């Protein structure tokens, strides 16, 4: 056991600083998370940008958010806010340990709490190595697949832990949605991690692991712990969380084959507990709330007599109304949802917009019709425009509608959303196993159809499976992007071209993109991304028109799609589903009779 008088800890640059050990010997259990995952000023965008931009572009973030490193502390030096995952680990441990045994702190404050008494450092992380979808692909486009900003700061945290003079005394346990990245890359030694936990902290197995660590027992490298099956077994934070994240649901139910969160049980969490956590955040100085979910629309409709894909309008409106009307909540941000509910119940979208827009911190001046140009931007999975592919990987993504109608569901849903000032971020998966050029063309068709119809979503293409990215990362440099076909590159660059539409309305915007992107191509990207990238980049730059590029045979411009209207989609539903339709949305199938009001009122409870 090591108990040096003067403890050396490394600072952010890796150099050694000398500190006295904490007067109380340190806390027995110290919880932390990478700085870049804990900060909550500047909104969601800063964290998403830091997940995707390589470390050499950190200056861009520093210029835009000069104070991003300035975090708030409690009087004892612990963190004023931490990601929800850390808060739940804390809450889970406090069922067994005393308050002064456990602390949650920022990485730069570890030396204040890690001492001879410390037995466990528990790290919660979302994305420590940046090998997840979207993040990996963009860093490689910009020139390095290895080190997104977030990953740099995560590694910095692990280096601090590794360099602790008390390292022999404590075990390092990592958990959170990004823990698997350490398992897949086998970076236990490099990062000085003893054990990665997959699953929730509430589990009895997690507590048992901490007991073992405290006794100094050897820990297994990887532990899978059970997810609570009962909504009352899920804990809620009673302190402040990063971005005011409070869980709303677990699981999803649509069963997409590539989805990890869907493996969790479908649970919607009790409203009173959600509201307690909202109030706890406000009490601790948070002005923003965001309900974490895979699909907000299932809340209030889990394990009821109505299938979960017919949203419970009254319950949702009631929940969101109470949240945004909680004194002290100044901002509210949506997390994830699916698109079919917008086709099923457009009036729900309207009612939610009326409630949520005034508290949204997101402004899209060129897109929004709201008087203050506010907008809502949840994350929605589009994934593919190919029905063939969709059938294979996500056959229930569009229920109650048939997956055969997936492109129509996307376009109709987006129309409803845009009309209500929802401009979602939509993810696409490029390179699904078995994806052919025809599948990519189908997705390109859908993207062009959006453009033709004047619909807007931020389209975020990413390469299938982080595992795949990881294997490629071990090869030289940016091999992964070189493997994309011309059509896959075109899809990616078309998405980004469309995303930049709102920024192109100034006289200088298009010119800046042309010059900038061609300059980057000549300087760096030509070599990095290979020949398949060349024409898609010219298309992106706008220096040669898409018409001309098509004439030259360099790009595929997408053919018009035959799209079903909402009425046609509703008419395609199975008659047994009609009872769940809301008459006030119109477009009812011939022969529909509304259910009795009493039944509706019951369903709302
Ligand atoms: C809110 C959210 C965000 C927010 C805020 C994140 C934050 N720092 O607080 C924002 C928008 C910034 C964000 C960004 C990103 N996100 Co995000 N996000 C979420 C979301 C919706 C909720 C996360 C959450 O707080 N859940 C509630 C808490 C309680 O759950 P939890 O953290 O998992 O913690 C539980 C367990 O994991 C465990 N646990 C957690 N930590 C520890 C530690 C120990 C030691 C132990 C034992 C257990 C343990 O116990 C907890 C329960 O008791 C999830 C989806 C979801 N439903 O989880 C996606 C999700 C985590 N994000 C995801 C992704 C991909 C990203 C981005 C990479 C997207 C991008 N390209 O920009 C970035 C990365 C950001 C970064 N810093 O690098 C993926 C993760 C995929 C992965 N890692 O494999 C998810 C799962 C969404 C999805 N369905 O794909 N995200
Ligand atoms: S809709 Fe989204 S959250 Fe639900 S299973 Fe599919 S990918 Fe997962």
Q: Is 87 helix (H, G, I), strand (E, B) or coil?
A: helix
Mean pLDDT of 145-164: 90
Closest ligand relative to 335 C-alpha: 1
**Greater confidence, 140 or 565?**
565
pLDDT in tens, 170-185: 999 999 999 988 998 8
How far from 409 is each of 258, 332, 345, CA to CA, in Å?
20, 27, 13
Q: Is 154 in the pocket of ligand 1 (CB under 6 A)?
A: no
Closest ligand relative to 81 C-alpha: 1
Mean pLDDT of 551-562: 89
The Å distance, Cα 292 to ligand 1 centre, comes to 9
pLDDT of residue 141: 53
Q: Is 171 in the pocket of ligand 1 (CB under 6 A)?
A: no
Mean pLDDT of 237-243: 96
pLDDT in tens, 538-550: 777 777 888 888 8
pLDDT of residue 236: 97
**Greater confidence, 147 or 310?**
310
Helix (H) or strand (E) holding 337: strand 336-337
pLDDT at residue 132 tops 70 = no
The Å distance, Cα 181 to ligand 1 centre, comes to 13
**Greater confidence, 365 or 160?**
160
Distance CA 603, CA 588 (A): 20
Atom of ligand 2 nearest to the CA of 258: 7
The Å distance, Cα 37 to ligand 1 centre, comes to 9
How far from 24 is each of 70, 136, 163, CA to CA, in Å?
26, 42, 21
pLDDT in tens, 9-28: 444 444 444 567 888 899 99
Mean pLDDT of 59-84: 93
Q: Is 227 in the pocket of ligand 2 (CB under 6 A)?
A: no
pLDDT of residue 524: 56
Closest ligand relative to 184 C-alpha: 1
Joined together, the tokens standing for residue 105 give 């702190």
Residue 476: pLDDT band by 50, 70, 90 thresholds? very low
Residue 43: pLDDT band by 50, 70, 90 thresholds? confident
The Å distance, Cα 69 to ligand 2 centre, comes to 33
Atom of ligand 2 nearest to the CA of 294: 3
The Å distance, Cα 348 to ligand 2 centre, comes to 21
User: Do residues 174 and 140 touch, judged by C-beta distance below 8 A?
Assistant: no
Closest ligand relative to 93 C-alpha: 1
Distance CA 411, CA 206 (A): 44
Please count the helices (runs of H) and the strands (runs of E) in the chain.
26, 17
pLDDT of residue 134: 47
The Å distance, Cα 196 to ligand 1 centre, comes to 15
Mean pLDDT of 391-399: 95
Q: Which of 124, 123, 129, 154 is nearest to 36 (CA)?
A: 154
pLDDT of residue 475: 31
User: Do residues 474 and 423 touch, judged by C-beta distance below 8 A?
Assistant: no
**Greater confidence, 276 or 65?**
276
Q: Is 261 in the pocket of ligand 1 (CB under 6 A)?
A: yes
Q: Which of 180, 232, 213, 178 is nearest to 93 (CA)?
A: 213
∠ CA 313-315-319, nearest 5°, is: 120
Joined together, the tokens standing for residue 467 give 């595992």
Q: Cα–chain-centroid distance for residue 187? A: 23
Q: Is 294 in the pocket of ligand 2 (CB under 6 A)?
A: yes
Q: Is 542 in the pocket of ligand 2 (CB under 6 A)?
A: no
Joined together, the tokens standing for residue 233 give 């077994």
CB atoms within 10 A of CB 338: 25
**Greater confidence, 555 or 563?**
563
Distance CA 447, CA 435 (A): 17
Distance CA 435, CA 311 (A): 33
**544 CB contacts (<8 Å, ≥6 apart)?**
538, 552
**419 CB contacts (<8 Å, ≥6 apart)?**
none
Dihedral angle sign, alpha carbons of residues 453, 457, 458, 461: negative
Joined together, the tokens standing for residue 502 give 């709102």
Q: Is 365 helix (H, G, I), strand (E, B) or coil?
A: coil
- The answer to whether the peptide bond before residue 190 is cis (omega within 30 degrees of 0) is no
The Å distance, Cα 264 to ligand 2 centre, comes to 11
Terminal-residue alpha carbon distance, the chain: 58
The Å distance, Cα 358 to ligand 1 centre, comes to 26
22 secondary structure, DSSP code: P
Closest ligand relative to 92 C-alpha: 1
Question: Which residue has a Cα nearest atom 49 of ligand 1?
Answer: 175
User: Do residues 107 and 11 touch, judged by C-beta distance below 8 A?
Assistant: no
pLDDT of residue 398: 98
Residue 471: pLDDT band by 50, 70, 90 thresholds? very low
Q: Is 202 in the pocket of ligand 2 (CB under 6 A)?
A: no
Residue 465: pLDDT band by 50, 70, 90 thresholds? low
Q: Is 88 in the pocket of ligand 1 (CB under 6 A)?
A: yes
């Amino acid at each position: 056991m090591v108990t040096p008088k003067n403890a050396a800890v490394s600072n952010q640059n890796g150099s050694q600083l000398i500190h006295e050990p904490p007067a109380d010997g340190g806390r027995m259990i110290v919880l932390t998370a990478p700085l870049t995952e804990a900060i909550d000023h500047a909104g969601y965008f800063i964290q998403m940008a830091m997940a995707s931009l390589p470390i050499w572009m950190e200056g861009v973030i520093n210029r835009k958010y000069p104070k991003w490193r300035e975090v708030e502390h409690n009087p004892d030096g612990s963190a004023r806010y931490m990601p929800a995952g850390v808060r739940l680990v804390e809450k889970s441990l406090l069922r067994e340990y005393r308050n002064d045994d456990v602390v949650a702190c920022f990485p730069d404050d570890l030396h204040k709490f890690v001492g001879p008494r410390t037995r466990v450092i528990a790290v919660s992380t979302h994305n420590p190595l940046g090998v997840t979808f979207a993040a990996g692909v963009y860093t490689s486009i910009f020139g390095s697949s290895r080190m997104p900003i977030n990953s740099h700061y995560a590694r910095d945290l692990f280096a601090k832990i590794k360099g602790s003079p008390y390292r022999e005394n404590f075990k390092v346990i990592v958990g959170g949605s990004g823990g698997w990245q350490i398992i897949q890359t086998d970076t236990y030694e490099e990062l000085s991690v003893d054990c990665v936990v997959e699953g929730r902290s509430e589990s009895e197995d997690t507590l048992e692991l901490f007991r073992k660590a405290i006794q100094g027992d050897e820990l297994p490298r990887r532990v899978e712990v059970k997810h609570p099956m009962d909504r009352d077994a899920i804990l809620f934070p009673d302190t402040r969380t990063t971005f005011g994240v409070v869980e709303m649901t677990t699981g999803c139910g649509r069963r997409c084959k590539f989805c990890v969160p869907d493996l969790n049980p479908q649970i919607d969490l009790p409203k009173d507990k959600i509201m307690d956590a909202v109030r706890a955040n406000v009490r601790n100085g948070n002005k923003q709330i965001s309900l974490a979910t895979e699909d907000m629309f299932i809340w209030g409709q889990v394990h009821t007599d109505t299938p979960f894909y017919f949203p419970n309008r009254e319950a949702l409106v009631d929940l969101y109304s109470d949240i945004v009307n909680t004194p002290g909540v100044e901002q509210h941000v949506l997390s994830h949802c699916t698109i079919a509910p917008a086709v099923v119940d457009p009036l729900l979208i309207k009612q939610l917009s009326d409630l949520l827009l005034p508290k949204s911190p997101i402004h899209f001046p060129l897109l929004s019709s709201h008087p203050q140009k506010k907008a809502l931007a949840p994350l929605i999975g589009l994934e593919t425009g190919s029905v063939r592919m969709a059938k294979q990987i996500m056959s229930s993504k569009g229920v109650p509608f048939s997956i055969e109608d997936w492109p129509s569901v996307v376009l109709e849903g987006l129309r409803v959303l845009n009309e209500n000032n929802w401009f979602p971020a939509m993810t696409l998966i490029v390179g699904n196993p078995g994806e052919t050029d025809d599948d990519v063309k189908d997705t390109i068709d859908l993207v062009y159809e959006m453009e033709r119809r004047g619909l807007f979503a931020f389209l975020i293409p990413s390469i299938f499976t982080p595992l795949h990215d990881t294997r490629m990362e071990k090869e030289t440099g940016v091999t992964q992007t070189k493997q994309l076909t011309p059509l896959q590159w075109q899809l990616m660059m078309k998405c980004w071209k469309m995303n930049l539409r709102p920024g192109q309305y100034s006289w200088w915007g298009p010119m800046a993109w042309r010059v900038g992107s061609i300059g980057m191509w000549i300087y760096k990207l030509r070599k990095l991304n290979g020949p398949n990238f060349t024409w898609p980049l010219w298309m992106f730059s706008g220096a040669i028109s898409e018409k001309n590029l098509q004439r030259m045979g360099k790009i595929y411009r997408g053919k018009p799609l035959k799209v079903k209207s909402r009425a046609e989609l509703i008419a395609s539903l199975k008659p047994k589903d009609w009872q769940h339709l809301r008459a006030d949305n119109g477009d009812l199938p011939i022969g529909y009779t509304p259910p009795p009001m009493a039944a509706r009122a019951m369903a709302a409870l």
